[in-house]
Amino acid sequence: MVWAEVSCTVPAAMVDEVAEFLIELSGSGVSIDNLFLDTFSLDTVRESDRKTVKAYLPADADLTAKIDTITAFLAKHGPAFPDFTFLQPAISLLREEDWANNWKQYFKPARIGKRLVIKPTWESFNPDPGDLIIELDPGMAFGTGTHATTRLCLEALEQIFFREGTWTNRQGPIPATVLDVGTGSGILAIAAAKMGGDRIVGLDIDPRAVEVAGENVRQNGAADRVELGTTPLTEMKGQFDVVLANILAEELVRLATPLIDRLGPGGTLVLSGILTEREDFVRTGFADHGVTLLTTTRHAEWSCLCYRRDT
Ligand SMILES: C[S@@+](CC[C@H](N)C(=O)[O-])C[C@H]1O[C@@H](n2cnc3c(N)ncnc32)[C@H](O)[C@@H]1O
């Protein structure tokens, strides 16, 4: 397999927008070269006013169209940023082994919330007491923990499971069952299992994501509690204590009824993948559905809404 490394050099203020766009397009993470070194002395390390955001795309028949999409994105959105100069994205081809190693230099253990650490398998990490470690290699499925929408879900899960100084489910009866709609890399399902969920079901419409999630679940020793599959949400049966869905606002609203149907009375629904400007659209879509909005959290331009099912 050959990969294309696509490098976009943009003003620092545009980095977040370009990174979000490339994450969506590539279905995976990006790297950002953010330091400009101009002498041998570390004292002179300073932030550059330009940064290079790199994404990795399979070098297949779709590559040219994707590069055209990236070029059009830069040309359309760049002029809104001061000091923008249009630079054609630079492309270099990498073999699978090089691609894998390229990723490695950018993925470091990341703490999310207070106790969760996402750790690439090749890195060593000394956990603090009470830390939960998720071992995750960046694959082609979305969900390395670094994206704001994933982070917001993980923080919401910690709020649900960690109470009064302990992970509740090991002591208490609920919450015990979790449905993760759009599981991607399986990161939320694994986190739910580590936090104390007894039975977790992860669904994804993309069979490749389910495959990657399966490997990650096994790697984290959670296969006894996590089931994965491509069953459409509308065909799912049963009810869960927690339902997570990190998919886009339009899809969340489209699926409002089946999402709530899968939630047991008093259960918590975590909706993520919502651009903050689309928050009201989602709130309206979930109004009069027998759920009460508990919290709204935001990170970058993303929002996460948590609801409780009333009866
Ligand atoms: C933004 S990713 C989230 C991945 C992971 N849960 C996370 O939080 O990082 C969304 C995932 O949802 C899947 N997806 C989109 N619409 C879906 C649907 N209607 N049912 C199930 N999966 C869906 C996509 O294939 C993708 O893997």
For 158-199, how does the pLDDT look when each residue is reduced to its tens digit (9 = 90+)? 988 876 555 565 445 555 899 999 998 899 999 999 988 889
Q: Are residues 48 and 97 in the same domain?
A: yes
pLDDT at 96: 67
Q: Are residues 100 and 192 in the same domain?
A: no
Distances (CA, A) of 241 to 26, 105, 180: 32, 38, 11
Q: Are residues 237 and 295 in the same domain?
A: yes
In-domain check, residue 111: no
Q: Are residues 201 and 255 in the same domain?
A: yes
Closest atom of ligand 1 relative to the 233 alpha carbon: 20
Q: In what order do the strands lie in the sheet with 110-112?
A: 110-112, 116-119, 132-135
Q: What's the total number of domains in the chain?
A: 2
Closest atom of ligand 1 relative to the 183 alpha carbon: 6
**CA proximity to 268, closest of 175, 158, 147:** 175
In-domain check, residue 216: yes
**CA proximity to 188, closest of 125, 245, 260:** 245
pLDDT at 100: 59
In-domain check, residue 113: no
Q: Are residues 154 and 301 in the same domain?
A: yes
- Whether 177 has a binding-site annotation, put simply, is no
Closest atom of ligand 1 relative to the 203 alpha carbon: 21
46-86 per-position pLDDT tens digit: 456 888 888 888 888 889 899 999 999 999 999 999 889 89
User: Which residues fall within 8 angstroms of residue 279, CB to CB, at 6 or more apart?
Assistant: 296, 303, 305
Q: Are residues 239 and 153 in the same domain?
A: yes
State the CATH number of the domain containing residue 171: 3.40.50.150
Nearest CA to ligand 1 atom 14: 182
In-domain check, residue 254: yes
Q: Are residues 149 and 101 in the same domain?
A: no
- Whether 246 has a binding-site annotation, put simply, is yes
Instruction: List the chain residues with pLDDT less than 70.
Output: 33-48, 96-107, 138-146, 163-175
In-domain check, residue 124: no
Q: Are residues 89 and 153 in the same domain?
A: no
Q: Are residues 61 and 202 in the same domain?
A: no
Task: Please say which residue of 54, 88, 106 terminates a domain.
Answer: 106
In-domain check, residue 134: no
Q: Are residues 297 and 188 in the same domain?
A: yes
Q: Is 103 touching ligand 1 by the criterion CB < 6 Å?
A: no
Q: Is 246 touching ligand 1 by the criterion CB < 6 Å?
A: yes
- Whether 78 has a binding-site annotation, put simply, is no
Q: Is 184 touching ligand 1 by the criterion CB < 6 Å?
A: yes
Q: Are residues 194 and 284 in the same domain?
A: yes
Q: Are residues 39 and 164 in the same domain?
A: no
Range of the domain at 268: 143-309
In-domain check, residue 125: no
